[in-house]
């Protein structure tokens, strides 16, 4: 029965605690490497921020010493504030992207440790959603009547080489299907 074959796929793609731990270390190392490669750009932004703050203080000191009129001070302070805001946005966006990607991958890895149990406990609609939209990019049944799947991202990236055939040794070419269940309208 197709349902049993799909359940077998979920057992096969699930991550063990040891695999999860090893994969989590690899993900952490990859993010650390990415952050290290970005450190020069982030350092330049921080240096630019410090330069603008020092420039702002000099203009303010010049105004207090009556060397710079109020209109000139305002014009330069507005330019400096704009520059600082742009730098702050870049730094915040970089941090959010980094944190968001880490959280996304951690959630995906956690899902992979529990996917077989969650699939068994799900109703038909949730199973259909998992099969057609969430975990699988392509699914088919090979010539040996065993399931052949291609995982969707990020699951495919998290399990490279773990699965060319969910049931065993077959290397049957994957064929694009909409899922094992009949289409719903």
Cis peptide leading into residue 6 (ω within 30°): no
Q: Residue ranges per domain, the chain?
A: 2-158
In this prediction the pTM is 0.52
> pLDDT tens digit string along 44-70?
999 999 999 999 999 999 999 999 999
14: left (phi over 0), alpha (psi -120 to 50) or beta: beta
What pLDDT is stored for residue 177 in this prediction?
32
Measured distance CA(119)–CA(97) in Å, rounded: 30
Q: DSSP letter string over 49-61?
A: HHHHHHHHHHHHH
């Amino acid at each position: 029965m197709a349902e049993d074959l799909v359940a077998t796929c979920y057992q096969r793609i699930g991550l063990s605690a040891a695999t999860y731990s090893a994969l989590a270390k690899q993900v952490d190392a990859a993010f650390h490497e990415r952050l290290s490669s970005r450190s020069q750009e982030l350092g330049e932004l921080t240096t630019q921020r410090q330069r603008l703050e020092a420039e702002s203080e000099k203009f303010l000191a010049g105004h207090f010493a009556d060397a710079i009129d109020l209109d000139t001070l305002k014009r330069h302070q507005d330019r400096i504030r704009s520059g600082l805001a742009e730098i702050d946005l870049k730094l915040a966006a970089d941090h959010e992207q980094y944190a968001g990607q880490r959280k996304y991958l951690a959630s995906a890895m956690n899902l992979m440790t529990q996917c077989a149990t969650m699939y068994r406990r799900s109703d038909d609609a949730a199973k259909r959603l998992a099969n057609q939209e969430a975990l699988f990019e392509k699914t088919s049944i090979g010539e040996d009547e065993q399931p052949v799947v291609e995982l969707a991202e990020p699951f495919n990236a998290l399990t490279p080489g773990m699965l060319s055939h969910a049931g065993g040794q077959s290397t049957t070419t994957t064929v694009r299907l909409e899922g094992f269940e009949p289409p719903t309208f």
